[in-house]
Amino acid sequence: MQHDGRSAAPRERAPASRLPLLLTLGSLVLFATGIGPRPDGDLWATGYDLVLYNAVYAFGAIVCVASALGARADRLAWWSLALAMTLNVIGNVIYTLVVARMPDEPFPSVADVFYLAYYLPLYVALISLIRTRVTRFHASMWLDGVVGALGAGAVSVAVLLGPALEMTEGEPAVVATSLAYPIADVVLLALLVAVGAILGVRRDRTLLLLAAGIVANLVGDIVFLDLATQDVYVEGGALDLTWLGGVALMALAAHMGRPGPSGPVPLPSARVGWRVIALPLACNIASLLVLGAGYGDELNPAAAWLAVGCVLTALCRTAITFREVRAFNEVKEQARTDELTGLPNRRALFEEVRAVLATASAQRPAAFLLLDLDGFKEVNDSLGHHAGDHLLRQVGPRLRPALRSRDLLARLGGDEFAVLLPDAGLDEAELLAARLRELILKPITVEGIRLHVGVSIGVASAPVPAATVEELLRCADVAMYAAKAGRTGVHVYVPDPRSGTGDRLRTMEELRTALECDDQLEVFLQPQVDLADGRVVGTEALVRWRHPTRGLLSPAELLPAAEQAGLLRPLADAVLELSLAAVARWWEERPVPVSVNLSAANVTDLDLPGKVAQALVRHGLPARALTLELVEDTLMSDPERGRTVLGELRRLGVRTSIDDYGTGYSSLAYLRNLPADELKLDRSLTHDVGVDPRAAVIVKHTVALAHDLGISLVAEGVEDDATGLVLRDLGCDIAQGYAIARPMPVEDFLDWLERPVRHMGVSESARRH
């Protein structure tokens, strides 16, 4: 079966590719040592050596052909190298069979044409290897190559052409051919050094082996030229091993240079370090030595001009280097600078934090402030992003005067800034944070409008409790959100030993895991009763998180983390599923609906009606088994979209309820436009309704307004019978609170449903079914 060379490419180091290499090396060993059968007679022995000599070239060419068939990127290089070896073999055959047998051996001969043509494919191979390793040439690369070529040319002309110039007497053809060989070697050496200067000193086995082979070839030529000038060269001597060794190294380079489909490793885009400047610098020094050694003496003009050209090109390369270094520093500075504010960015901040943490100690602590602007979103939404950008640009100039020269103010992104304070304790950092907050709270003029924005600042210290960049940022982040939640403006991070892993960021990640589990989240149920007859008419589902290490967490600990992590929507989906699964357990016997709270993310979710409909079908429940509660402020982000979603839910038959009524700032407008079936009075209006006449009046008129609009009214926070009786007398329809029952697990609620119904104010002995 025949195999195409391309189909064999993915198979590295196939035995078929090894065989020609082994034959090449074997022929070289036999020629060098004389081991093996040798025919009798000087002529046959000489012919045997010639066969071995040419076998090294022939088998080397076969290795290159095999590599060319199996390569992609370096294919042209190996074809060129194979052609060069083939030309040399042809020249040897012509010289041995034709030229050497002539009575008067001519010079130049036909064999010299093939010997000189041998160099051209070598040039092509070197250029091809550059093209496969450099994807994009820069001016500095070209100049490095020119410096290398001119420097190598200057040295080689001074060494090689000196003896050759002594052979200038004779016919023009003889002189031209005699000079063509050292000139070809000079060009080859210059090209080889140029390749090295462009690519730099690198661990590329292919290039190193090929370079070693070419150098061996050049060494042989230099020695041969010297011996030929003295007319003492003898064929078949040890000198022949330099050429054969060079061919073997080139064949090995071709064999080792079969990288398969991925191709050779390209040159890195960033050319920095001693590996890049080593060869150009050496060539420049060599050129200066050539000029210095020949000063005052007769120096070959070509070598002198090449050396001068190398030095001048090196000066141009130096100018290019200065420009590249300046551009590199500018790019580096841009990479470390926030484009909008001109302040150091996150990258620059973290680099500086690492440096400060490396020297921070208990005697020389460091502090870190994390600043988050409050109200920035409203500026963007109302005045546009250009106004927000203008505001952000004013933060740096306003805060900078309050900082020390060694303090670092940076922008992390969005409306977050950070201040790194080397050699500063917590007390000093807290005072500075308060000062920075005062500066931010001053009015800021944006497009002629005086604006007031707030700021929440978290303060953390190092090396205790934070010893790494990540820990320092996490501690400051936790403190900043604590300042935001508590509206204190500034908060210093203090580890909470009770919560263990209760930091906000870790809680967020653990919540993600909990949403994927089936047993960590659950709902507690709090009953709602009719104030007229005490019947159970509903229950509210309140989520609980049974944390594996921190125990049962309430919504107060769970919901902030869910909001900050963007998990409110999946959390509400999970609560809805758990709530409907609970209702399905009692609905057939006791049609008591469940109320589930919605966030702003849920209310504006156009897919919510479809999700609810599918969940109801999945649990075999009618739409009236579910009431969805929302806080009136949740519709502020997109009122029209929210009304569309709630309208779809009502068309399904699902009831909607406005939770915490009375705590917002546009309640009447919402009652007019919002599709709702129920109002839930916040406990701030109901807990002292029995002792505060003004509160009673507000509740009375709110009840009247709700009833006139056809909306039922639920009183939350009913903690005793007296309050319940007052609310009943004021017209409230339903009560919910500790006076009735505390939130309880589903199993306990099922037991509670079986208990006798009780009117508000009726004693235990008067309970009835």
Determine the pLDDT at residue 298. 65
Helices 240-256, 75-97: crossing angle, 10 deg rounding:
150
What mean pLDDT do residues 297-315 have?
Answer: 73
515 versus 204: the higher-pLDDT residue is 515
What mean pLDDT do residues 9-22 have?
Answer: 57
Nearest one of 50, 49, 170 to 107, comparing CA atoms? 170
712 versus 141: the higher-pLDDT residue is 712
Backbone phi and psi for residue 559, each to the nearest 5 degrees, phi listed first: -65, -40
Residue 448 buriedness (CB in 10 A; 0-12 / 13-18 / 19+): exposed
Collapsed DSSP state (helix, strand, coil) of residue 234: coil
pLDDT digits (tens, 9 = 90+) for 455-494: 999 999 998 888 888 889 888 988 888 888 778 889 998 7
Determine the pLDDT at residue 180. 80
How far CA 208 is from CA of 203, 217, 298, 478, in Å, comes to 8, 14, 36, 56
> 133-142, 278-287, 737-746: which has the highest mean pLDDT?
737-746
97 versus 575: the higher-pLDDT residue is 575
Determine the pLDDT at residue 510. 81
49 versus 687: the higher-pLDDT residue is 687
Position 655 pLDDT exceeds 80: yes
How far CA 32 is from CA of 36, 467, 628, 746, in Å, comes to 11, 67, 95, 94
DSSP bridge partners of 525: 541, 744
pLDDT digits (tens, 9 = 90+) for 537-575: 999 999 998 888 878 888 877 777 777 667 888 888 899
User: What's the mean per-residue pLDDT of the chain?
Assistant: 79
Position 642 pLDDT exceeds 50: yes
pLDDT digits (tens, 9 = 90+) for 377-398: 878 877 888 888 999 999 999 9
What mean pLDDT do residues 308-321 have?
Answer: 74
73 versus 81: the higher-pLDDT residue is 81
DSSP bridge partners of 457: 371, 490
Position 705 pLDDT exceeds 50: yes
- Kindly state the percentage of the chain with pLDDT values over 90: 20
What mean pLDDT do residues 622-630 have?
Answer: 91
| Cα–Cα distance, 231 to 228 (Å, whole number) | 5
pLDDT band per the 50, 70, 90 thresholds, residue 593: very high
Determine the pLDDT at residue 537. 92
What mean pLDDT do residues 52-66 have?
Answer: 85
- Kindly state the percentage of the chain with pLDDT values over 70: 79
Position 120 pLDDT exceeds 80: yes
Two structure tokens written together for 669 = 């407008």
Position 500 pLDDT exceeds 50: no
Collapsed DSSP state (helix, strand, coil) of residue 374: strand
Determine the pLDDT at residue 767. 37
| Cα–Cα distance, 230 to 167 (Å, whole number) | 11
Position 47 pLDDT exceeds 50: yes
What mean pLDDT do residues 98-103 have?
Answer: 80
Position 45 pLDDT exceeds 50: no
Q: 385: which residues sit within 8 A by CB, 6+ positions away?
A: none
| Cα–Cα distance, 248 to 242 (Å, whole number) | 10
pLDDT digits (tens, 9 = 90+) for 137-175: 666 677 777 777 777 777 777 766 655 655 556 677 777
Which range has the worst mean pLDDT, 231-245, 258-272, 429-443?
A: 258-272
Position 6 pLDDT exceeds 90: no
Position 596 pLDDT exceeds 90: yes
DSSP 573-631: HHHHHHHHHHHHHHTTT----EEEEE-HHHHT-TTHHHHHHHHHHHTT--GGGEEEEEE
Residue 270 buriedness (CB in 10 A; 0-12 / 13-18 / 19+): exposed
Determine the pLDDT at residue 282. 72
pTM equals 0.45
